[in-house]
């Protein structure tokens, strides 16, 4: 028996073995605070590939030092980082999965303590933090006030994304995702709550989208025609006066016209106190709306944790792919379990683990 969830998907020159992909999940574990991945990242990410994921997408990875969410975030702005990613990518490939990396700039939400720190908020410069930047000098609730970017700064941001995309290819990655969600820099440009500019990067939706489209253009020009580019959006700010689904549908349409292949549709993150009605699959309708109305393939995310739930999302055309986060942390072999539950025959369960297969005896 075949199921849509286990059908391969081809995006430009890349074919991925199934539609269950690992969502980018920050580990805050670059312990030297230099953005270089460590053995933790190899084991963490490699386990998902071994567990049958179609694609494993690395966490939000700073395109410039000041773009990191925390001092312990990964980066891809220099060759040392690129070279340290190569063995991780090689192992992911050895297990039959595709490797992706989410390229990010946190903007006003950068330079923060990692979640399990006893201190929260912005890390002071004297403690290893830095002055953050944003479309406007408007602080995120509880964080330090950022510096407003100049037009030249915005141009350099796009160049930073492009340079990181080039290093991603050199490291062997198969796709990149541009992070324009969760209240980070490109989302900050899109939302009128955080973008108060009056120049070509503020005001109308077309102007608020310009920074993102410049990034998409720069990345597409750098990676060429055959390499997949994904954009992650927050489809709503969940707050009156904020970014809306209708606006994101339009921006996703523009992003597709500029060379993006898939819209990874999440929500929220730009307003600390936004009332978000969280529940299983609560963000899937947003992915379905973008797919239906923007004419671009979509990825659904958000509390997708059951095989039949994931199958239903893909089989009914609400999204082309599901990205799973927390369930992979609970069970790195989630795709192997999903295949058994859906009665799908796959040929990539690790031979070393066959003695534990439910089809084996003894």
Q: 298: helix, coil or strand?
A: strand
Q: What is the 3-state secondary structure (H, E, C) of 85-138?
A: HHHHHHHHHHCCCEEEEEEECCHHHCCECCCCCCCCCECCHHHCCCCCEECCCC
Residue 250's closest CA among 264, 232, 235, 268? 235
Residue 215's closest CA among 242, 179, 268? 179
Task: Out of 28, 143, 184, 282, pick the active-site residue.
Answer: 184
CATH number for the domain spanning 122: value is 3.20.20.70
Domain residues for the domain of 127 are 4-356
- Tens digit of each residue's pLDDT (9 = 90 or more) over 241-259: 999 999 999 999 999 999 9
Residue 2 pLDDT class (50, 70, 90 cuts): low
- Does residue 324 lie in a domain region? yes
Number of domains in the chain: 1
CA 302 – CA 104 distance, rounded (Å): 19
Does 358 have pLDDT greater than 90?
Answer: no
Does 223 have pLDDT greater than 80?
Answer: yes
Does 360 have pLDDT greater than 50?
Answer: no
CA 143 – CA 93 distance, rounded (Å): 39
The mean pLDDT value of the chain amounts to 96
**65 neighbors 40 (Cβ within 8 angstroms):** no
Please indicate, yes or no, whether the overall pTM of this predicted structure exceeds 0.85: yes
- Does residue 362 lie in a domain region? no
Half-sphere exposure of residue 206: CA atoms within 13 angstroms, side-chain side? 1
Q: What pLDDT is attached to residue 359?
A: 52
**97 neighbors 55 (Cβ within 8 angstroms):** yes
Residue 1 pLDDT class (50, 70, 90 cuts): very low
- Does residue 161 lie in a domain region? yes
- Does residue 361 lie in a domain region? no
- Does residue 225 lie in a domain region? yes
Q: Say whether 348 is catalytic.
A: no
- Tens digit of each residue's pLDDT (9 = 90 or more) over 170-183: 999 999 999 999 99
The percent of the chain in helix, strand and coil, each rounded to the nearest 5, is 40, 15, 45
Does 323 have pLDDT greater than 90?
Answer: yes
How many CB atoms within 10 Å of residue 100?
Answer: 25
- Does residue 304 lie in a domain region? yes
């Amino acid at each position: 028996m075949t199921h849509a969830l286990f059908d391969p998907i081809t995006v430009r020159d890349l074919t991925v073995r199934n539609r269950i992909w690992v969502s980018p999940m920050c580990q805050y574990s670059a312990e030297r605070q230099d953005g270089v991945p460590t053995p933790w990242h190899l084991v963490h990410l490699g386990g998902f590939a071994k567990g049958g994921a179609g694609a494993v997408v690395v966490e939000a990875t700073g395109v410039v030092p000041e773009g990191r969410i925390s001092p312990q975030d990964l980066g891809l702005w220099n060759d040392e980082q690129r070279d340290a990613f190569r063995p991780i990518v090689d192992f992911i490939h050895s297990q039959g999965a595709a490797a992706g990396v989410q390229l990010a700039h946190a903007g006003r939400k950068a330079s923060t303590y990692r979640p399990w720190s006893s201190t929260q908020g912005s890390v002071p410069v004297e403690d290893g933090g830095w002055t953050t930047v944003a479309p406007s000098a408007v602080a995120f609730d509880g964080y330090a006030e950022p510096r407003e970017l100049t037009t030249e700064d915005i141009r350099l941001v796009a160049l930073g994304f492009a340079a990181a995309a080039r290093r991603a290819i050199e490291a062997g990655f198969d796709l990149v995702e541009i992070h324009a969600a969760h209240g980070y820099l490109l989302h900050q440009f899109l939302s009128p709550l955080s973008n108060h500019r009056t120049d070509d990067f503020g005001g109308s939706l077309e102007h608020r989208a310009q920074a993102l489209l410049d990034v998409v253009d720069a990345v597409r020009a750098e990676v060429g025609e055959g390499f997949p580019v994904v954009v992650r959006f927050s489809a709503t700010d969940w707050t009156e006066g904020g970014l809306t689904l209708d606006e994101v549908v339009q921006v996703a349409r523009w992003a597709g016209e500029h060379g993006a292949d898939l819209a990874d549709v999440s929500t929220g993150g730009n307003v600390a106190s936004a009332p978000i009605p969280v529940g299983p699959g609560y963000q899937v309708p947003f992915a379905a709306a973008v797919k239906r109305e923007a004419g671009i393939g979509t990825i659904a995310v958000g509390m997708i944790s059951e095989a039949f739930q994931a199958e239903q999302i893909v089989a009914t055309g609400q999204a082309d792919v599901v990205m799973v986060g927390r369930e992979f942390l609970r069970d790195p072999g989630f795709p192997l379990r999903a295949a058994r539950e859906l009665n799908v025959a796959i040929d990539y369960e690790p031979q070393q683990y066959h003695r534990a297969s439910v089809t084996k005896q003894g």
